[in-house]
């Protein structure tokens, strides 16, 4: 039997359409919601992501202000820009595209963003609010994964969820969100013993390690839900996930593809966070 393939692209479209409607109704009263996007340097992948974010903004009715700064921009200059954007009443969300060039301290830049404008949900205030269950901005990829499962009628309560990867942007926050959904959560990483056996216990397996096609059917329990957060290039330069899709689609109950799985949801949730920042003001 072959798995249900979860259409992240379609679900992301649905969300963007809902947001577009919402924005149309809000705008007359409050002026246009605005996202400032800051990109430093020449990273090609980052440029593609930033372009996609701007297109999504346009679609939803969010104004985007774009700051594309040269590689040689100093940390002080980036911090000064963030301060300026924090102060501006007509800017509701601030996104500083990561990774930043090596001479700039990512953490310092993130901590400088006003938490009320931190639509990435990376500021320690928002991370803290997530972990104690208070309202705040949740980082977009983990939020997108939860939304993807809810809209696919995947039950999370009481399920055994195994996460591969413990990063601050995916592994840790998705663990918190899955706990909030009442799953039993195991976070695994490079030092985990018998990884494939641990993963095989999962009803829901979430993979975010950044290694192309690392997860094969030996990791997957019959009927499990497999969520692939990876974005890699395979030996032919084709986009692929951390999961060997062809292999796992045979055993999984449901699986996300790459592309058109989690990636588009990340952008949809960014739009959702922007609208939330705007509504709160
Ligand atoms: N401050 C910050 N916030 C981020 O949210 C952030 C970031 N930095 N740095 C890089 C990562 C990566 N990321 C993606 C967003 C959309 C797709 C996406 O839409 N992917 C499409 C394919 C796109 C393609 O063709 O390359 C898909 O999976 O179908 C992927 C990856 C956001 N990130």
Cα 81 to Cα 39: distance, rounded to the nearest angstrom? 12
Q: Catalytic residue numbers?
A: 53, 97, 120
Residue 208 Cβ < 6 Å to ligand 1? no
In this structure, the residue with its CA closest to atom 12 of ligand 1 is 49
Residue 265: per-residue pLDDT? 98
Residue 149 half-sphere exposure, CB side, CA atoms within 13 Å? 26
Confidence class for position 130, pLDDT limits 50, 70, 90: very high
Q: Is 125 in the pocket of ligand 1 (CB under 6 A)?
A: no
pLDDT at 1 over 80: no
Nearest-angstrom CA–CA distance, 110 and 191 = 28
The count of other CB atoms within 10 Å of the CB of residue 1 is: 8
Q: Is the pLDDT assigned to residue 275 strictly greater than 90? A: yes
Do the annotations mark residue 231 as ligand-binding? Answer: yes
Average pLDDT, the chain: 97
Confidence of residue 86 (pLDDT cuts 50, 70, 90): very high
**Ligand 1 centroid – CA 66 distance (Å):** 17
Burial class (CB in 10 A: 0-12, 13-18, 19+), 166: middle
- Annotated ligand binding at 136? The verdict is no
Phi, psi of 112 (to 5 degrees): -80, -25
Q: pLDDT tens digits for 158-215?
A: 999 999 999 999 999 999 999 999 999 999 999 999 999 999 999 999 999 999 999 9
Query: Is ligand 1 within 6 A of the CB of residue 263?
Result: yes
CB 207 within 8 A of CB 243: yes
* pLDDT recorded at residue 27: 84
Say what the pLDDT of residue 281 is: 85
Residue 206 in marked binding region: no
Dist. CA 50 → ligand 1 center (Å) = 8
Q: Is the distance from the beta carbon of residue 267 to the nearest atom of ligand 1 less than 6 Å?
A: yes
State ipTM: 0.94
> pLDDT by residue (tens digit) across 46-85?
999 999 999 999 999 999 999 999 999 999 999 999 999 9
- Angle 146-100-135 from CA coordinates, rounded to 5°: 35
**Ligand 1, atom 24: nearest CA belongs to which residue?**
259
165 C-beta closer than 6 A to ligand 1: no
Q: Which of 65, 34, 92 is nearest to 280 (CA)?
A: 92
pTM, full prediction: 0.96
Q: Is 165 annotated in some ligand binding site?
A: yes
Question: How far does Cα 143 stand from its chain's mean position?
Answer: 7
Index of the ligand 1 atom closest to the CA of residue 122: 1
> Cα separation of 125 and 114, whole Å?
10
Q: Which domains does the chain have, with CATH numbers?
A: 31-116 (3.40.50.10860), 140-263 (3.40.50.720)
Least confident stretch, 19-23, 30-34, 109-113: 30-34
């Amino acid at each position: 039997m072959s798995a249900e393939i979860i259409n992240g692209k379609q679900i992301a479209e649905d969300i963007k359409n809902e947001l577009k409607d919402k924005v149309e109704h809000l705008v007359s009263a409050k002026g246009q919601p605005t996202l400032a996007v800051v990109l430093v340097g020449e990273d090609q992948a980052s440029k593609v992501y930033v372009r996609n974010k701007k297109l999504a903004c346009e679609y939803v009715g969010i104004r985007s202000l774009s700051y594309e700064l040269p590689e040689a921009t100093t940390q002080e200059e980036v911090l000064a820009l963030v301060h300026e954007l924090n102060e501006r009443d007509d800017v509701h969300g601030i996104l500083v595209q990561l990774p930043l060039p090596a001479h700039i301290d990512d953490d310092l830049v993130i901590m400088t963003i006003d938490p009320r404008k931190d639509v990435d949900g990376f500021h320690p205030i928002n991370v803290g609010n997530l972990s104690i269950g208070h309202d705040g901005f949740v980082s977009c990829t983990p939020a997108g994964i939860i939304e993807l499962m809810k809209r696919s009628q995947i039950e999370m309560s009481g399920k055994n969820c195994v996460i591969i990867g413990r990063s601050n942007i995916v592994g840790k926050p998705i663990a918190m969100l899955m706990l909030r959904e009442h799953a039993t959560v195991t976070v695994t990483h490079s030092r985990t013993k018998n990884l494939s056996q641990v993963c095989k216990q999962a009803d829901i397996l979430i993979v975010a390690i950044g290694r192309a096609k690392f997860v094969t059917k030996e990791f997957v329990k019959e009927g499990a839900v497999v969520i692939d957060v990876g974005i890699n290039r395979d030996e032919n330069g084709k986009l692929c996930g951390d999961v060997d899709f062809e292999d796992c689609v045979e055993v999984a109950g449901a699986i996300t593809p790459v592309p058109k799985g989690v990636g588009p949801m990340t952008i949809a949730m960014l739009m959702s966070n922007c609208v939330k920042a705007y509504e709160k003001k």
